[in-house]
């Protein structure tokens, strides 16, 4: 199968994460679409939930282990509506920029068990890529055998696709420069770690964990753990700052930017 580029667009870059009702960060999305215009390889673009996903999920008690499954299930329509709106706005902006894509939502073909994927259909995505059309997918709400329903994060989707599709490149766009060796919000000496591999992963993971009091780094720990767990060994994922114009385009063209490269074990 054709070698794909797997690209995560972090929710804090493509939405105004603190705005309620949720709002698309339209200027960022337009710029990202322009940076992707020259890409010749097929792409699977995975959207984070940002304001559209997280606010609705939170209001129905996702993230709280004591929420009854009836309440989680009652939240499915609203979370799905928000993610459909987000993904279709992005598909539209991509198409205005000459990038043909279709949205394939995980909800329609995925089952989870206690938050882990137990079935996820790849065949439509593979067929779409083979047909020369790019795929947009996203973090989503999905039925979960134990909990009733659960949130599947975009990072878990990336990890799953990386296992199965042997991508040419895995790019994780966030609103920070990479993984820091301290908390950049309160430590002015914190620096971006250029590479995480078997030689430094334990040390770096413990530092990321120790600064997990803030949401961004807490999320980062899970992200790095997922990327390190991609099976097959030596699969490189790049965590970079998608809010800085030009960095995505440079990475697509194989040029260097400030970032963290994560090598799976």
Q: Which of 25, 141, 161, 228 binds ligand IPE (CB under 6 A)?
A: 141
Residue 57: CB minimum distance to ligand IPE, A: 5
Options 9-17, 122-130, 231-239, 247-255: segment touching ligand IPE (CB under 6 A): 9-17
What region does 2 belong to: left with phi over 0, alpha with psi -120 to 50, or beta?
Answer: beta
Q: How many CB atoms lie within 10 A of CB 135?
A: 22
Per CB under 6 A, 22 contacts ligand IPE: no
Q: Which of 222, 162, 228 has the alpha carbon at shortest distance from 201?
A: 228
Q: How far is the CB of 203 from ligand IPE (least distance, A)?
A: 25
Q: Are 244 and 35 in contact (CB under 8 A)?
A: no
Residue 49 binds to ligand IPE (criterion: CB under 6 A): yes
Q: What are phi and psi of 227, to 5 degrees?
A: -70, -35
151 near ligand IPE, judged by CB under 6 A: yes
Instruction: Give me the least distance between CB of 131 and ligand IPE, in Å please.
Output: 26
The verdict on 48 binding ligand IPE (CB under 6 A) reads: yes
- 220 belongs to the binding site for ligand IPE (CB under 6 A): no
Q: Is 254 left (phi over 0), alpha (psi -120 to 50) or beta?
A: left
| Phi, psi (degrees; rounded to nearest 5) at 172 | -115, 100
Chain residues that interact with ligand IPE, rule: CB under 6 A: 10-12, 48-50, 53-54, 57, 79, 83, 139-141, 151, 153-155, 219
């Amino acid at each position: 199968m054709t070698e794909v580029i797997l690209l995560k667009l972090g929710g804090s870059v493509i939405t105004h994460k603190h705005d309620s009702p949720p709002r698309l960060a339209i200027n960022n999305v337009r710029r990202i679409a322009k940076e992707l215009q020259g890409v010749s390889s097929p792409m699977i673009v995975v959207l984070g939930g940002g304001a559209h996903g997280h606010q609705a999920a939170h209001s129905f008690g996702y993230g709280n282990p004591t929420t009854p499954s009836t309440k989680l299930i009652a939240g499915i329509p609203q979370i799905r509506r928000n993610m459909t709106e987000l993904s279709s706005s992005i598909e539209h902006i991509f198409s205005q920029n000459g990038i043909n894509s279709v949205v394939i939502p995980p909800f329609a073909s995925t089952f989870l068990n206690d938050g882990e994927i137990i079935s996820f259909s790849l065949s439509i995505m593979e067929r779409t890529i083979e047909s020369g059309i790019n795929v947009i997918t996203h973090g989503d709400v999905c039925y979960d055998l134990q909990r009733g329903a659960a949130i599947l994060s975009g990072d878990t989707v990336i990890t799953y696709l990386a296992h199965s599709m042997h991508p040419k490149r895995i790019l994780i766009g966030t609103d920070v420069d990479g993984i820091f060796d301290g908390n950049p919000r309160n430590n002015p000496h914190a620096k971006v770690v250029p590479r995480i591999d078997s030689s430094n992963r334990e040390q770096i993971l413990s530092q990321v964990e120790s600064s997990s009091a803030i949401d961004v780094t807490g999320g980062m720990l899970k992200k790095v753990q997922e990327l390190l767990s991609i099976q097959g060994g030596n699969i490189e994922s790049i965590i970079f700052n998608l809010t800085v114009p030009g960095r995505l385009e440079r990475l697509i063209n194989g040029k260097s930017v400030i970032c963290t490269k994560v090598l799976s074990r």
